[in-house]
Structure 1
Amino acid sequence: MKFDQLKDIPFFDHRQINSHRVIPSLFFYESGSWHSWISTQDGLLKIKAIPGEGTYFSKLPEHEDDIYLEFFNFLGQRVLRKEILYPVNGIRNDIMNICASLRKLSLLYEFSNNKSFEVSRMVITELEYLIGVCRSIFDLLQEIIAALWKTVVLTDESVVKKNLHKSFRKMVIENEQILEQAVIKDRFAIPEALAQFYCEYAEFFQILRKFRDNIAHHGSSLDYIFLTRRGFAVKDTAKPFSLFNVWNEEHKLPNSLASLRVPVAYMIRKTLGACEDFALSIQKFIRFPDELAPDYKLFFKMSYSSELLNLDRIIQNSLWFDEL
Structure 2
Amino acid sequence: MSRETIRRDELDKLFHIRDDYHGTVPLYPVYDPHYNGEEYRDWGDESDWYLWISDQEGNLQRMRGYPTRMVYFGTEAEDHTDVYYSFFDFYLRGFILQENMDQINHLLTDVRQISNSMAQIGVFDHLSRKEGLYPGQFVKNELEFIVITCRSMYESLQQVARTTWESVEYLEGGKMQLPKKFAKIALEDEKPVDLESLKLKRNLPDELAKYYAEEATHFQKIRDVRNKIVHDGESFGSVFGTSDGLAVNTDGKFIDGFSDVWSDETIRENGLAPLWPIVSKIVQTTLRALNRFTSSITEEIKFPDPIVPEHLVFVRGDATRYLPYLDYLITTDPWGTYILEDVRQRYLMNSD
Q: TM-score over 0.5 for the alignment?
A: yes
The whole-number CA distance in structure 2 between the counterparts of 1:30 and 1:186 is 51
- Deviations along 1:292-311, one digit per CA (max 9) or x if unpaired, are 11121111121112210211
Query: Which residue among 244, 264, 285 is the counterpart of 1:249?
Result: 264
- Deviations along 1:58-103, one digit per CA (max 9) or x if unpaired, are 1111111111111100111221211011110111000000110000
TM-score normalized by the length of structure 2? 0.86
State the shift of 1:254 in Å. Answer: 2.5
State the shift of 1:151 in Å. Answer: 0.5
The whole-number CA distance in structure 1 between the counterparts of 2:22 and 2:334 is 46
State the shift of 1:242 in Å. Answer: 3.0
Query: Which residue among 81, 86, 98 is the counterpart of 2:114?
Result: 98
Match of 1:152? 168
The whole-number CA distance in structure 2 between the counterparts of 1:300 and 1:322 is 24
RMSD: 1.7
The whole-number CA distance in structure 1 between the counterparts of 2:337 and 2:314 is 30
Query: Which residue among 308, 312, 316 is the counterpart of 2:327?
Result: 312
- Deviations along 1:262-300, one digit per CA (max 9) or x if unpaired, are 111011000011001111221111111111111211111
Count of residue correspondences: 320
Q: Is the 8 A contact 1:251 1:258 kept in 2?
A: yes
Cα pair distance change 1:7/1:25, threshold 3 Å: same
Query: Which residue among 315, 318, 326 is the counterpart of 1:300?
Result: 315
> Is 1:109–2:125 an aligned residue pair?
yes
Match of 1:130? 146
> Is 1:7–2:11 an aligned residue pair?
yes
Cα pair distance change 1:283/1:216, threshold 3 Å: same
The whole-number CA distance in structure 2 between the counterparts of 1:7 and 1:182 is 49
The whole-number CA distance in structure 2 between the counterparts of 1:42 and 1:24 is 16
* Secondary structure, counterpart of 1:67 in structure 2: coil
Q: Is the 8 A contact 2:94 2:308 kept in 1?
A: no
State the shift of 1:318 in Å. Answer: 5.1
* Secondary structure, counterpart of 2:334 in structure 1: coil
Match of 2:96? 80
The whole-number CA distance in structure 2 between the counterparts of 1:190 and 1:28 is 38
Query: Which residue among 4, 27, 31 is the counterpart of 2:30?
Result: 27
* Secondary structure, counterpart of 1:30 in structure 2: coil
Letter in 1 for 2:84: Y
Q: How does 1:1-324 map to 2 (within 5 A)?
A: 1-4=1-4, 5=6, 7-8=11-12, 9-18=14-23, 21=24, 23=26, 25-31=28-34, 33-43=48-58, 44-114=60-130, 117-156=133-172, 159-244=173-258, 245-317=260-332, 319-322=334-337
Q: Is the 8 A contact 2:53 2:62 kept in 1?
A: yes
The whole-number CA distance in structure 2 between the counterparts of 1:251 and 1:113 is 19
TM-score normalized by the length of structure 1? 0.94
* Secondary structure, counterpart of 2:261 in structure 1: coil
State the shift of 1:185 in Å. Answer: 1.4
Letter in 1 for 2:28: S
The whole-number CA distance in structure 2 between the counterparts of 1:222 and 1:305 is 24
Moved more, 8-17 or 268-277: 8-17
Cα pair distance change 1:42/1:233, threshold 3 Å: same
Letter in 2 for 1:166: K
Q: Is the 8 A contact 2:29 2:49 kept in 1?
A: no
Moved more, 26-35 or 237-246: 26-35
Letter in 2 for 1:252: I
Residue ranges of structure 1 left out of the alignment (5+ in a row): none
Letter in 2 for 1:52: T
Match of 2:37? none
